Amino acid sequence: MAALNLNALTENASRLGMRLQETLSEHTRDLGIRGAGSAYLDNTEEKVKNIAKQLDSNSDREKLDAMKRLIALISKGRDVSQFFAQVVKNVASHNLEIRKLVYIYLLRYAEQEPDLALLSINTFQKDLSDPNPLIRAMALRVLSGIKVLMISSIVMLAIKKCAADISPYVRKAAALAIPKLYHLDSTHQPELIKVISTLLKDQSPLSLGSVAVAFEAVCPTRLDLLHLHYRRLCRTLIDVDEWGQVDLMNLLIRYARVMLPRPLASTAVAGSSTVEVDSDLKLLLTSAEPLFQSHNPAVVLAVARVFYYLGLPSDLPKIVPPLLRLLHVSPEIERVVLRNLVLTSNELSDVLAKSYTRFLVRADDPQQVKKDKLRLLRSVITVDNYPSLLREFIFYADDADDELVADSIQAIGYVARVVPESTAQCLSALMSFIQSKHDVIVTNAVLVLKSLVQIRLQQQQNAIAYGGLPSHSFSPLEIISRLARRLDEIRHPKARACVLWLVGQYAASPEAAPEMNGASHVGPDGITPWAPDVLRKAAKSFGEETATVKLQIITLAAKLLVLSPADRTIGLLNRYVFSLARYDLNYDVRDRGRMLGALLAGVNANLYGEGDDPQEDVGGVILRREQVRMVLFEGKSVVGEDKAPHEDDHGRFGSMAAVTGRWAGSDNYLPDWLEEGTESSLRDTEADIPQVPVYASQASATRSIASSSRASPVVLSPSPSGSFTKQEATKAAYMDLDRFYEDAEDNEESEESESEESEDEEEDSGSGSGEAESTGEEESDDANEDDGEDGGEHGHHVQGTTG
């Protein structure tokens, strides 16, 4: 006996030592101390060969050491499938730590060794009946994780058994095993749907999140199964685990979009519009709103998704403060939150403008974060904050990131469009960018100036039509002239093409219009003085330009020729440019030259010179100069309003598609709202049926009953006709306050008189005790009848006072 106790103590001591060693290594991991666990990663060939002997050993310490080495080798990518047979032998070990590691190993290699994995099926089935719920759940996890098709029926039986388990943890494991079995063998779908229907009735919030995952995996379109459970799921939402709340809210969003009516605006009597919200939809919003305070960012984002797609426009600003709170949690979460805020920037620009300082770009921000912040800053520009934001955009133009530089310069142009008061400051900044030595800055500045010039000229034309002319620090033609003089310094093809287009489009001098309008001339036949010089420089470098620039050079030459067909210099430049374009290697350039040459046949018939072969006569109508000018100039200066890039939203808010730009398998594509949802009665349950109210007497009635008869309480019963006639009459009388007090005084007097009569009767009964028994019996019968009548009257009196 002593030897047995000594062995038990020794084994307990060894287990305690191992547990202390594991705890110490776990706590010293963050301190950088090399614990015992890290030693398993350094496995020499001798230690690997010794693993098989350790697994066959009788010592739990040896087996645990061997299993840890195997898991360490698996984490390093080593193939240790040769130890599968030895590992399977330990699947029924009494040591819980060894069994956990064995389960992990089996999950990894059961698919490669299906025959050997089947040897452990009986052990897992026995563990499903283990008294410990942790063992039962673990056995189901491993059993469902073995991807062997022939055991799908066994797994189905195990799921059914665990779905009816008394432990909610085991039922949660059963819910998580349903998607695994469905992906392994989809023929069990009808049975799995029945199990899901059973698990939806679970009153424990622990398993509801896992049931939502199983529902989305097996039967995502069977939303009718949620009718009877919808309201209970909404009320239980706050008690579900964090990640279960995310899955459950996504499921409830889809249910609401399909089964509940869309909130519709209705006009009230006073003319103000109100929105009718379904009570079940309001229940979901009310139940989800407290979760804005959750510490889990995924839960906060899921609640924001509920309000974004189901809430009213007045509820939409509620999602901004919780999302702003998440910006400082981690860089990864900041990236996700910013992308979702970009999707809402159009609807919530006024709310986000109050917190624009939270979106200022930092130097250490990732590239995509900078881009998203700049989009948000661009969307919150107002008359009040534009000076601060304009300074920020000018500062960002000096950043090392070329994309940020381009976006910031585009944002400066956007400020000039949205806030007309800032035009002078924006033009000054853009003109200073042209003098920069960086091609990216100059190119984007030219592109923005081009659009601003077009808008400004259009505004001038509108002002002239109304009898006035706005005054600006920079005139549009002055900007074009500065760009034309710096054409040699602009090297980017797209920027050079923009300058050439501006010169050609606005080459006609406004001080002296063309001769067809009957005015005087400035420059060659009404052309601005700097336009022919730009054409000369462009023609000189025609062979070195890209195809985009060549197309604009040909167009510029054609426009100047239409404006001044009699000028000899412009005619020679046109002949040179069109001759080069005729034999260019790029077919787009050749086609453009051929098209414009045919168009100008009515302006200059000798475009290619007398020595060259004449163009082929392709027939058709020859346009006059006025018609050619209309073709080349009209309809080219209209500029649409530049807005922030439109984000196409199909349920992307709060999903991975908002970050990646592509739909993932886990994302739920939200359906459109139904104009009329399903009947609300489908969601009625016994818990929703209102209970019959219990009528209770007031304190005064209680005191009167207690004083009169404590042993036999008065029961208020209706009349045979089913109505309290005297009570209703008393209620009607008590509508007058004076009559109420008069009745109260009369009742007090009647009670005093009744008490005096009862005392007199008691005295009479005491004095007449010597009378005959028959006479006493008759008197007692009469007294009982009188008491019954008095009790009835007293009952009616109690009803009246209660009313």
Q: What is the pLDDT of residues 100-114, one digit of tens each?
A: 888 888 878 877 777
Q: Tell me the three state secondary structure of residue 185.
A: coil
Is residue 610 very low, low, confident or very high in pLDDT (cuts 50, 70, 90)? Answer: low
Is the pLDDT score of 780 beyond 50? no
Lowest mean pLDDT among 17-31, 59-73, 222-236, 676-690: 17-31
Please say whether the beta carbons of 389 and 381 come within 8 A: yes
Is residue 690 very low, low, confident or very high in pLDDT (cuts 50, 70, 90)? Answer: low
Please say whether the beta carbons of 455 and 639 come within 8 A: yes
Determine the pLDDT at residue 709: 43
Pick the more confident residue, 357 or 464.
357
Residue type, position 320, single letter = V
Lowest mean pLDDT among 191-195, 305-309, 397-401, 520-524: 520-524
Is the pLDDT score of 720 beyond 70? no
Determine the pLDDT at residue 274: 72
**Four-point Cα dihedral 224, 228, 234, 236, nearest 10:** -130
Lowest mean pLDDT among 539-543, 600-604, 695-699: 695-699
pTM passes above 0.85: no
CB atoms within 10 A of CB 218: 20
Is the pLDDT score of 612 beyond 90? no
Is residue 551 very low, low, confident or very high in pLDDT (cuts 50, 70, 90)? Answer: very high
User: What average pLDDT is seen over the chain?
Assistant: 77
Determine the pLDDT at residue 517: 38
Give the mean model confidence (pLDDT) for residues 637-648. 47
Pick the more confident residue, 452 or 272.
452
Is the pLDDT score of 497 beyond 60? yes
Determine the pLDDT at residue 636: 65
Rounded distance, CA 102 to CA 90, Å?
7
The torsion angles phi and psi of 521, rounded to 5 degrees, stand at -125, 145
Structure tokens at 344: 């809402």
Closest CA to 165 of 132, 189, 197, 205: 132
- Which residue do the tokens 């010592």 mark? 59
